[in-house]
Structure 1
Amino acid sequence: MLERVLNFINFGPAGATDAANTVEQAQAVPASGGGLSGMLFFLIIIILMWVLLFLPQRRQEKKHKEMLSALKKGDKIVTSSGIIGKIISITNERIRISTADKTEIDITKNAIAGVLSKSDKPEATPEETETETETETEDDK
């Protein structure tokens, strides 16, 4: 009722019915399906973010794990903090490297950023490693 009074004031007696009909027609037009298209847009954005952010990171992690599993005694490596050394021994999660004459450092495998050069020697068997360790301790005395 209030709308008709306002329309009457704005448009006069002749335009009151036309304006009222226009308002009713505008209210009767249903809104287009904006909810579904909005959801589809956000779904596409989420998929795009996953492809651009997470897949390259997974590939990089996989390459790093492969590099760590291929490490062997004699490889020259660089750590994430920039220390360069040669692998002396490898245990489950720790690696002992030689950085200079008689300077040895124990580091974790995750601290290795890359391999600078591979050793030419094949990987030593556990018996050879024990023999070399015993010889080194006798030389240190």
Structure 2
Amino acid sequence: MNQGSQTASLILLILPLVLIGFMLWSARRRQRTLADFSASLQVGEEVVTTSGIFGRITEVEDDRVRLEAAPGVVLTLDRRAIGAKVAPGGDVTTDTDGRD
């Protein structure tokens, strides 16, 4: 084997490892961002769920939130079901994707 083909073979071996490493790093970063977002939820905040239900948080427990979707209609949801916060002007801020 000559030097050029050895280099190409080495690149073909290393490239998939680099790609897998990047994908794992990206997944961990996304998971950390989602965990931080979930931990930041507070009573009184307007939010939208991942299924599109808008409401105001009325109670925060360990892994659950209570969301008032309409007057007198309170839903109990897993924290992970909250997809984004709603800004005072009604704009949805997607803190979870880093693109506000």
Asked if these proteins are the same fold (TM beyond 0.5), I'd say yes
Q: 2:19 aligns with which of 48, 51, 59?
A: 48
Q: How many residues align?
A: 87
CA distance in 2, matches of 1:105, 1:48: 41
User: Cα deviations across residues 1-34 of structure 1 (Å, max 9, x unaligned)?
Assistant: xxxxxxxxxxxxxxxxxxxxxxxxxxxxxx4475
Give the C-alpha shift of residue 55 in structure 1: 2.6
- Whose RCO is larger (CA < 8 A, sep 6+)? 2
Higher mean C-alpha displacement, 83-92 vs 109-118: 109-118
Query: Percentage identity across aligned positions?
Result: 20
Could you say which residue in structure 1 is the equivalent of 2:96?
none
Is 1:38 the equivalent of 2:6? Answer: no
CA distance in 1, matches of 2:58, 2:46: 10
Q: 1:65 aligns with which of 14, 18, 35?
A: 35
Larger Rg over CA atoms: 1
SS in 1 for 2:74: strand
Larger helix fraction of residues: 1
1:1-141 alignment runs, 5 A limit: 31-32=1-2, 37-51=8-22, 53-117=23-87
Structure 1 runs not aligned, ≥5 long: 1-30, 119-141
List, as ranges, runs of 4+ consecutive aligned residues in structure 1 with deviation greater than 3 Å.
31-37
CA distance in 2, matches of 1:108, 1:39: 47
**TM superposition score normalised by structure 2:** 0.71
Structure 2 runs not aligned, ≥5 long: 89-100
Residue identity matched to 1:98: E
CA distance in 1, matches of 2:43, 2:87: 12
